[in-house]
A and B are shown apart, each in its own frame.
Chain A
């Protein structure tokens, strides 16, 4: 009963994704058909062609590299910050939290020009993927900290205090008690940061000038230009881009998201 309702909700929610796949499978002419067809009259699968012609392999590789880099840096820098902010409420900590939130107020589309100017002056544009990793980390850190902080807040302090009394150092308490107990929250935030970084577009477009180093989102944008709006191609590209992540996610998600329902803490 509940399962049926859940499936129904999921199906309704995922309809846009279905529409992406159906559009990808239609002939360009059928796409503009009015009223639209819910199933392609003639299959028009160009997945391999689009993948090869658009050099998607290296685009996807660059996307993964940048997303992994930004995620790694975000987690390394942000986990400790989230922990401290869950434990302290003195003026310095609150000021830090305020600053962290405020600094991500502006969308990348507005921040990118000053970032471009600054990175250009620092010579960072010579390593454009690193430049995007840094800029994207700046964007994801506040998100990660704010998301992860409540998980640390839910770790009972008594455990840490007890370990501390037993002579454990502060860093040990953090790494061996707090982090493992908050791992579900950290993991979920990490995944959200990674997925968001995979979709990063504005910084990659502006900071990376070599096509060989460019990401898949920028490659996708190439379709959306004037004078040739190939919707079938766009949706095929989008489908190729999204499908592996979906499959990977489907395989791992019982472990990732399923961990949530278990409830790490009793």
Chain B
């Protein structure tokens, strides 16, 4: 570690410890602390208190220790929702990154209209989560939904699956819609990363007789490490925040079949006003995010020095 740092200092490294940079970095951090850190601390405080929604202004509330957490774990839905959250996040991120990467590589090839057609994919990113939820709910409807109409017309299904009301299909349906939503984001970010890889690397590799698969593995992937790390961590964090879509599609139902932590936390806090338990769940999500964030941060640490 210290050796690495020393090698960094061997450069004419003016970039270390300058007031200008500290100011550049301090500006967003201070802003975030002001806007986001206080609400987060407030949430942590509520997670160990007995909270009455009608009394949210005061911080002086009965301290209940871990009672909210214990209630949460004893809730019969807890196991199901934890598993759903894991599935929702993993499947969404893996598929989004894979499809996004495939599309980014595909559009990297220079064919007529490549840039224009790629731009069109961003249309999904423009759509507010609310609208996306409404459209997919529409398309997934069991009787008059267009998804079933297409599947039936192509002979793939005989009976109509009820995507949103069948407990086995509701979560996959939400995941499909979420993948749809996240693909353009991944594709564009990965495209930016791909575009920045110097072409001559590939040319040199081609002269050495490397095929396209070998140059993908030996050039593209290593060069994209920072971008992929960013896309995956952001993907996890964003997926853990996905609320609009679940609210629009299934509201976590039927019978919690598609419920995930972030939606459940909202339900606890704002539907049944068990705000202490809702906050406890939010704190658990914070802990997971802290883990993901630290993995991301340590990956950047390697990359800055490299």
Contact = CB atoms under 8 A, between A and B. Distances in A.
B10 to A, nearest CB: 12
Interface string A245-266: 1100110011011101111111
A53 interface: no
A10 B139 contact: no
B43 A106 contact: yes
A50 interface: no
Interface string A158-188: 0011001100001100100000000011001
A114 B122 contact: no
Contacts, number: 352
A126 interface: no
B255 interface: no
B146 A106 contact: no
Interface stretch (B66-74, B86-94, B207-215, B287-295): B287-295
B230 A32 contact: no
Interface in A1-28: 1-3, 5-7, 9-10, 13-14, 16-17, 19-20, 23
Contacts of A94: 297, 300-301
Contact of B27 (A13, A36, A81): A81
Contact of A101 (B24, B56, B145, B297): B297
B136 interface: yes
Contact of A104 (B118, B237, B265, B278): B237
Nearest to A78: B28
B56 A117 contact: yes
Nearest to B145: A36
A161 B290 contact: no
B296 A170 contact: no
Interface stretch (B75-83, B164-172, B181-189): B181-189
A130 interface: no
Contacts of B242: 107
B21 A34 contact: no
Interface residues of A, number: 119
B188 A192 contact: yes
Given A254-B116, A262-B195, A107 B262 contact: yes
Given A81-B29, A146-B234, A249-B126, A161 B12 contact: yes
Nearest to A100: B32
Interface stretch (A40-48, A54-62, A135-143): A135-143
A246 B123 contact: yes
A165 B13 CA distance: 11
A52 interface: no
Interface in A94-137: 94, 96-111, 113-115, 117-118, 134-135, 137
Given A35-B149, A164-B14, A84 B21 contact: yes
Contact of B192 (A17, A188, A199): A188
Given A35-B149, A107-B241, A161-B11, A201 B43 contact: no
Interface string A183-220: 01100100010011011111000000000000001001
B129 interface: yes
Nearest to A223: B134
B37 interface: yes
Nearest to A23: B138
A36 B227 CA distance: 42
Contacts of B120: 10, 14, 250, 253
A19 B138 CA distance: 9
For the complex of A and B, the 10 pairs showing the least CB-CB separation, nearest first, are: A80-B24, A199-B128, A253-B119, A138-B35, A105-B289, A114-B39, A101-B293, A2-B111, A258-B115, A34-B144
10 contacts: A13-B183, A16-B136, A90-B16, A106-B285, A109-B266, A137-B35, A138-B31, A171-B20, A192-B188, A235-B135
Given A141-B28, A143-B234, 19 more contacts: A23-B138, A34-B143, A98-B297, A102-B290, A106-B262, A106-B286, A107-B242, A107-B243, A108-B241, A109-B243, A118-B38, A147-B189, A149-B230, A192-B185, A224-B134, A241-B128, A242-B126, A260-B188, A266-B198
Interface of B: 8, 11-12, 14-16, 18, 20-25, 27-29, 31-33, 35-40, 42-43, 56-57, 103, 106-132, 134-136, 138-139, 143-146, 149, 152, 180, 183, 185, 188-189, 191-193, 195-200, 226-227, 230, 233-234, 237, 240-244, 262, 265-266, 269-270, 278, 282, 285-286, 289-290, 292-294, 296-297, 300-301, 303-305
